[in-house]
Amino acid sequence: MSIRFRLTAWYFCSLAVILVLFALAAWFAMGSSMIQAVDHDLRMRVEDVQGFIDRELASTPSELVEDFAEQAGLGLGGGLLEVRDEGGRVLYRSARLGTWQPGLSSAAGPAIAYETESGKGPRLRVAAQAVDVRGRRFSIGVAQPLHEFQEARERFEGILLLLAAPSLLLAALGGFWLSGRALAPVDRITNEARRISISNLDTRLQAPPARDELHRLVFTLNEMLARIDSAVKRMVQFTADASHELRAPLTLIHTAAEFSLRRERTREELLGAMRKIMRESDRTARLVDDLLLLARADSGGDESALAPVDLRASARDAVEQAVILAEPKGIRVTAGIPGEPVLVEGDEPALSRLWLILLDNAVKYTNPGGHIHFDLVTVNGHAEGKVTDDGVGIAPHELPHIFDRFWRADKVRSRSLGGAGLGLSIAQWIVERHHGGITVRSEPGKGSQFAARLPLAAGETLTGGAAESQRASRPHSG
Ligand code: ADP
């Protein structure tokens, strides 16, 4: 069922209810105001009759009865009148009353009382009152037939019924037209959105000029499109880069195999080719592992539970490996690790990997004979692992890119060092998974400092970062 139809139906129903309530209220109000007018009239008549008795009191009872008959004929009491004396004797009773109201005035009290009587014939509104006229008590009853009143009311009912159906129909048509107009942009937006596919994700929906809900909807959809567009572009770029990176070692493997097969080779030549194939296939395997890890990270699939871990273990582990990596280049590696545990909610293997990525980079981009320092400290409820080197550094315009996938300042150099430009992307993802952040300070030719901050596990005290010995003189970082 379309919104348009539902809106019209709701509109129709609520209007019908309002109309019915309105008609009922008008009907009752009309009835009560007419009865009020009739009652007012009846009271005036009782007063008239009382005045007449006052004037004629001196007459004998028989004269009084005659006067009554005469005056009633001239309109006294509206022509429907009954008067009794103290003894309840009827002094006068209009002939037109007939048998309608036996004892119109018999129940009269000192206060005027009104009543609607419906005997045989048309309904009557009656008023009765016992009045004192110069010490003598008379009961006066007057009546007014209600047929005119009833006719007026019936006419009114007829008008209401006659007007209700067309006005409801008109309102429903108006509602249908209005909701159609209001919803027309929705159809347009739907059609526009239908035309957007992966091949034209840069298309944007046209926002209606009025700054209304639809404008906001289109704005939000456009923002979503922009996000999807940039995510798809990143994915396409990632796939292209990944294929490119995988191609290089595969070509090398192929070339080595071809070299071995082309003609008879010596044992040394064959061993050399085999080693090359091994090295390149190792590299390919590492690259595939990294790609898988990032793919899992993107899909949010790698969400192994975090548990309290002491960062010192992973840090010592990584520093030990860095010492081995740095040895061939004659680079000195020092570390400052606190005496007390540094607990974070973490994933131990991922944290080891994080420190190793930073330390491995430092080794790769530091010249032989350089110095690398690793520091683990706690500051303001955070643990901070800092890797400082006095290596080649990073140019300021390159800093914003270093965490991008496959980005390398010097592709040839990085590849020859075994890097594919994924290390820092993985490091950043690990830090973010631990609800932390990573920052870098660097000056070309002087060195770099990478600092990964992770929130301490709840309950961990905020110590100032007391570090174990081994603290070497700090290399410069920009
Ligand atoms: P790679 O596999 O190339 O090391 P990364 O993502 O780890 O990839 O690093 C991206 C780039 O950032 C590197 O190619 C290098 O240019 C730069 N970089 C990273 N760490 C350092 C460092 N400690 N000193 C200088 N440059 C660095």
Q: What does the H/E/C string look like for the chain?
A: CCHHHHHHHHHHHHHHHHHHHHHHHHHHHHHHHHHHHHHHHHHHHHHHHHHHHHHHCCCCHHHHHHHHHHHHHCCHHHHCEEEECCCCCEEEECHHHCCCCCCCCCCCCCCCEEEEECCCCCCEEEEEEEEEECCEEEEEEEEEECHHHHHHHHHHHHHHHHHHHHHHHHHHHHHHHHHHHHHHHHHHHHHHHHCCCHHHCCCCCCCCCCCCHHHHHHHHHHHHHHHHHHHHHHHHHHHHHHHHHHHHHHHHHHHHHHHHHHCCCCHHHHHHHHHHHHHHHHHHHHHHHHHHHHHHHHCCCCCCCCEEEEHHHHHHHHHHHHHHHHHHHCCEEEEECCCCCCEEEECHHHHHHHHHHHHHHHHHCCCCCCEEEEEEEEECCEEEEEEEECCCCCCCCCHHHCCCCCCCCCHHHHHHCCCCCCHHHHHHHHHHHCCCEEEEEEECCCEEEEEEEEEECCCCCCCCCCCCCCCCCCCCCC
Contacts (Cβ under 8 Å, ≥6 apart) of 269: 259, 260
Residue nearest to atom 19 of ligand 1 (CA): 361
Domain 3-151 class in CATH: alpha beta
Q: Taking Cα atoms as reference points, which of 157, 215, 161 lies closest to residue 185?
A: 215
Which residue numbers in the chain have pLDDT < 70?
A: 1, 98-103, 105-107, 119-121, 301-303, 459-478
- pLDDT at res. 117: 77
Distance CA 379, CA 255 (A): 53
Please check whether residue 317 is in contact with residue 354, taking contact to mean a CB–CB distance below 8 angstroms. no
Ligand 1 close to Cβ of residue 391 (< 6 A): yes
Ligand 1 close to Cβ of residue 334 (< 6 A): no
Ligand 1 close to Cβ of residue 366 (< 6 A): no
- pLDDT at res. 59: 80
Residue nearest to atom 25 of ligand 1 (CA): 393
Ligand 1 close to Cβ of residue 388 (< 6 A): no
Predicted structure pTM score: 0.61
- pLDDT at res. 322: 96
Distance CA 302, CA 299 (A): 8
Ligand 1 close to Cβ of residue 361 (< 6 A): yes
Ligand 1 close to Cβ of residue 370 (< 6 A): no
Write out pLDDT tens, residues 270-299: 999 999 999 999 989 999 999 988 888 888
Pocket test for ligand 1, best of 354, 359, 364, 366 (most atoms within 8 A of CB): 364
Instruction: Using the mean position of ligand 1's atoms as its centre, give its distance from the Cα of residue 428 in Å.
Output: 13
Instruction: Using the mean position of ligand 1's atoms as its centre, give its distance from the Cα of residue 256 in Å.
Output: 28
Query: Residue 344 forms beta bridges with which residues?
Result: 309, 456
Ligand 1 close to Cβ of residue 358 (< 6 A): no
Ligand 1 close to Cβ of residue 449 (< 6 A): no
Residue nearest to atom 4 of ligand 1 (CA): 419
Domain ranges of the chain: 3-151, 213-299, 307-477
Surface-to-core class of residue 258, CB atoms within 10 Å of its CB (0-12 exposed, 13-18 middle, 19+ buried): exposed
Ligand 1 close to Cβ of residue 421 (< 6 A): yes
Pocket test for ligand 1, best of 361, 373, 426 (most atoms within 8 A of CB): 361
Pocket test for ligand 1, best of 358, 408, 446 (most atoms within 8 A of CB): 408
Instruction: Using the mean position of ligand 1's atoms as its centre, give its distance from the Cα of residue 319 in Å.
Output: 18
- pLDDT at res. 474: 36
Write out pLDDT tens, residues 323-363: 999 999 999 999 999 999 999 999 999 999 999 999 999 99
In CATH terms, the fold of domain 213-299 is: Helix Hairpins (1.10.287)
Ligand 1 close to Cβ of residue 414 (< 6 A): yes
Report the side by side order of strands in the sheet with 371-379. 332-336, 371-379, 382-389, 447-455, 437-443
Residue nearest to atom 8 of ligand 1 (CA): 421
Tokens standing for residue 341? 């545990």
Please check whether residue 457 is in contact with residue 345, taking contact to mean a CB–CB distance below 8 angstroms. yes
- pLDDT at res. 57: 80
Residue nearest to atom 13 of ligand 1 (CA): 408
Contacts (Cβ under 8 Å, ≥6 apart) of 421: 404, 405, 406, 407, 408, 411, 414
Ligand 1 close to Cβ of residue 392 (< 6 A): yes
Residue nearest to atom 3 of ligand 1 (CA): 421
Ligand 1 close to Cβ of residue 365 (< 6 A): yes
Rounded to 5°, the CA angle 173-170-11 comes to: 60
Residue nearest to atom 21 of ligand 1 (CA): 361
Please check whether residue 54 is in contact with residue 133, taking contact to mean a CB–CB distance below 8 angstroms. yes
Residue nearest to atom 11 of ligand 1 (CA): 408
Instruction: Using the mean position of ligand 1's atoms as its centre, give its distance from the Cα of residue 411 in Å.
Output: 10
Residue nearest to atom 7 of ligand 1 (CA): 423
Residue 411 Cα to chain centre, angstroms: 47
Domain 307-477 class in CATH: alpha beta
Distance CA 271, CA 399 (A): 42
Report the side by side order of strands in the sheet with 124-133. 90-93, 81-84, 136-145, 124-133, 113-117
